[in-house]
């Protein structure tokens, strides 16, 4: 019997290519069925979305960002997750760039349990029962200090400008944190300022720069430095205070007379999301009572879901300095809203940090 070697090779190659194409399409399909979630470090924990994972085992893949300015830059440059986790003050910027799709609140099971102060925020409203972001977490930014190393400090953000602690203080490397505080101390509205007022804020930041150990968003390193005594005070979020107190480190989360900063963050669905149904399942899972309870007890952050607060003992909430109604907190804090000069302020902050 005569064999056509060329024909056999051609058929073999064709069969191989067909098998490869089938395998590749299966791999792509599997990847497409996995929700892509873009978030802050620490928010990827499976305990926040147990029911989602029960229905979709291995159904989410998380990528982390340093802060939501970093997230905005990456998404604007072409990175396309299904769900991202920015804060309220950034939503209008994301929306202006055409990055988001409206979220139908009729598909959000616990929408009615979200505190009105958060779900009614103006820049979230997309009309016709839809929103641009589903609020999920809220909390405070303040000074966390060692009570044994900083004795009875004046309750003021000025502590982070105190020369006696030069080299032993750190602050958050984000435009919606440190420059906002500098503006408060300079007597300037942080969210809408003239060029002259921005220069006043810059001068306040220049005054602080030589006193700092570093600018950072790495709260793990900050916590370690506070625990060792390398740092005596730092700008942090609630979670750092909760973590260090659990470790027995003598720290206090200050209530500055100028006001703590209060923020609210949540979930947005990207315009080009490939897994919209999974996105709704994921958000609904995160809005369950147990998820909010875990957020409160683990990080000391507030949940947007009022039922989560009802699940945490009153005594525990008092230790965490969390009122069960965020409107009580907002009477004495500065809510971080959209910044009209965000880009200009960010450029100025970068220049100051670089020595300018």
User: H-type helices in the chain, by residue range?
Assistant: 5-32, 50-55, 68-76, 88-96, 116-119, 178-186, 195-208, 219-228, 238-246, 276-286, 289-299, 306-310, 314-319, 326-330, 342-353
In a domain, residue 4? The reply is: no
Question: Are 315 and 346 in the same domain?
Answer: no
- Whether 248 and 348 map to the same domain: the answer is yes
CA distance 252 to 322: 14
In a domain, residue 10? The reply is no
Does residue 17 lie within any of the structural domains?
no
Question: What average pLDDT does the segment 346-351 reach?
Answer: 96
pLDDT in the model for residue 325? 85
Dist. CA 246–CA 335, nearest whole Å: 27
Whether the CB-CB separation of 253 and 238 falls below 8 Å is answered with yes
pLDDT given at position 18: 44
Regarding whether 243 and 144 lie in a shared domain, the answer is yes
Neighbours of 311 (CB within 10 A): 15
Q: 14 lies in a domain?
A: no
Q: Quick one: which H or E segment has residue 335?
A: strand 334-335
Which residues constitute the domain of residue 152? 139-261+338-354
Using DSSP, state whether 353 is helix, strand or coil.
helix
pLDDT at 32: 54
Tell me, yes or no, whether 296 lies in a domain.
yes
Query: Cβ of 274: how many Cβ atoms within 10 Å?
Result: 16
Least confident among 4-13, 49-58, 83-92: 4-13
Q: Are residues 189 and 275 in the same domain?
A: no
Q: Give the number of domains in the chain.
A: 2
With cut-offs at 50, 70 and 90, classify the pLDDT of residue 119: very high
Average pLDDT over residues 38-56: 96
Same domain (yes/no): 59, 79: yes
Do 229 and 80 fall into the same domain? no
| β-strands 100-101, 125-127 pairing | unpaired
Is pLDDT of 2 > 90?
Answer: no
Domain shared by 152 and 301, yes or no: no
Q: Which residues pair with 125 in a beta bridge?
A: 131
Query: Do both 134 and 60 map to the same domain?
Result: yes
Within a domain: residue 26?
Answer: no
pLDDT single digits (tens) 202-212? 999 999 999 99
Residues 312 and 293 in one domain: yes
Alpha carbons 102 and 111: distance in angstroms, whole number: 15
Based on the fold, state whether residues 105 and 182 are members of the same structural domain: no
Sign of the Cα pseudo-torsion (236, 215, 211, 340, in order): negative
pLDDT at 216: 95
| Mean pLDDT confidence for 282-301 | 97
Residue-wise pLDDT for 3-44, tens only, equals: 343 343 444 444 444 444 444 333 333 345 899 999 999 999
**Co-location of 68 and 114 in the same domain:** yes
Q: Which of 269, 277, 274, 272 is nearest to 126 (CA)?
A: 269
Check whether residue 243 and residue 124 sit in a common domain. Answer: no
Residue 71 makes CB contacts below 8 A (sequence gap 6+) with: 38, 65, 84, 85, 86
What is the per-residue pLDDT for 321?
87
With CA atoms as reference, report the closest residue to 279 among 52, 114, 120, 92. 52
Instruction: Work out the average pLDDT over 320-333.
Output: 89
Q: For all residues of the chain together, what is the average pLDDT? A: 91
Whether residue 24 lies inside any domain: the answer is: no
Does a structural domain hold residue 18? no
Sequence length of the chain is 356
| CATH at 189 | 3.40.190.10
């Amino acid at each position: 019997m005569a064999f056509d070697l060329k024909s056999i090779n051609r058929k073999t190659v064709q069969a191989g290519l067909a098998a490869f194409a089938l395998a590749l399409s299966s791999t792509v399909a599997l990847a497409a069925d996995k929700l892509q979630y873009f978030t802050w470090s620490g928010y990827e924990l499976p305990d926040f979305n147990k029911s989602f994972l029960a229905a979709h085992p291995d159904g989410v893949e998380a990528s982390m960002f340093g802060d939501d300015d970093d997230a905005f830059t990456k998404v604007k440059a072409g990175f396309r997750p299904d769900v991202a986790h920015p804060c309220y003050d950034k939503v209008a910027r994301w929306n202006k760039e055409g990055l988001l799709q409206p979220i139908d609140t009729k598909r959000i099971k616990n929408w009615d349990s979200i505190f009105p102060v958060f779900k009614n925020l103006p820049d979230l409203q997309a009309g016709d029962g839809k929103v641009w972001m589903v609020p999920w977490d809220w909390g405070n930014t303040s000074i966390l200090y060692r009570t044994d190393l900083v004795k009875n400090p004046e309750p003021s953000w000025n502590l982070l400008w105190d020369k006696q602690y030069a080299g032993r203080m750190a602050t958050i490397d984000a435009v919606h944190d440190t420059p906002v505080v500098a503006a408060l101390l300079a007597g300037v509205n942080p969210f809408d300022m003239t060029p002259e007022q921005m220069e006043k804020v810059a001068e306040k930041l220049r005054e602080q720069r030589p006193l700092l150990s570093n600018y950072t968003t790495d709260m793990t390193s900050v916590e370690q430095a506070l625990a060792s005594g390398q740092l005596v005070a730092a700008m942090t979020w609630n979670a750092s205070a909760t973590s260090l107190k659990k470790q027995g480190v003598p720290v206090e989360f200050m209530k500055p007379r100028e006001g703590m900063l209060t923020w609210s963050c949540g979930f947005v669905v990207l315009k080009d999301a490939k897994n919209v149904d999974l996105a709704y399942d994921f958000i609904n899972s995160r809005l369950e009572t147990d998820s909010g309870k875990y957020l409160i007890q683990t990080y000391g952050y507030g949940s947007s879901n009022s039922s989560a607060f009802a699940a945490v003992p009153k005594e525990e909430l008092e230790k965490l300095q969390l009122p069960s109604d965020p409107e009580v907190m907002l009477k004495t804090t500065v809510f971080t809203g959209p910044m009209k000069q965000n880009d200009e302020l960010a450029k100025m902050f970068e220049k100051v940090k670089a020595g300018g």
